[in-house]
Amino acid sequence: MIELEKVRIIPQSNGLTKDDLTEKDLYCIAKHIQINVIKRCFREEHDILDPCQTCKYERECFKSGYGYAHWDTFIKLSKITGVRMCPGAGFTD
């Protein structure tokens, strides 16, 4: 379970647009969809590595020892799209 206080929250900004998603952000989103949706849900493959373990940006994201780097991307996406996403326990939408 992810503790919210350990997640770096991007400052609230209504000015974020799709142009604020970097190539790394887009790769991260696609990698999570590929592994967690297509492979695990649709193909029912469960003996596979997590998205971050096979990511070409893994060293960049985890070099500081921060283990939830992908949530920066997903929180940014949430603010751009208005689709609520939160890594915290008890989150409901």
Per-residue pLDDT of the chain (93 residues; tens, 9 = 90+): 444 444 444 455 557 888 889 999 999 999 999 988 899 888 888 888 888 888 898 888 877 666 667 888 888 888 888 888 776 655 565
Count how many domains the chain has: 1
Residues 6+ apart with CB under 8 A from 80: 16, 17, 18, 20, 21
Expressed as residue numbers, the domain containing 54 is 22-80
Query: Would you say residue 69 lies in a domain?
Result: yes
90 within some domain: no
pTM of the model: 0.69
C-alpha to C-alpha distance for 84 and 67, rounded to whole angstroms: 21
Give the pLDDT confidence score for residue 71 in this predicted structure. Answer: 82
List Cβ neighbours of 16 (8 Å cut-off, separation of 6 or more): 76, 79, 80
Count of Cβ atoms closer than 10 Å to residue 74 Cβ = 19
26, part of any domain: yes
Rounded to the nearest 10 degrees, the angle between the axes of helix 23-32 and helix 69-81 is 100
Res 45: pLDDT = 87
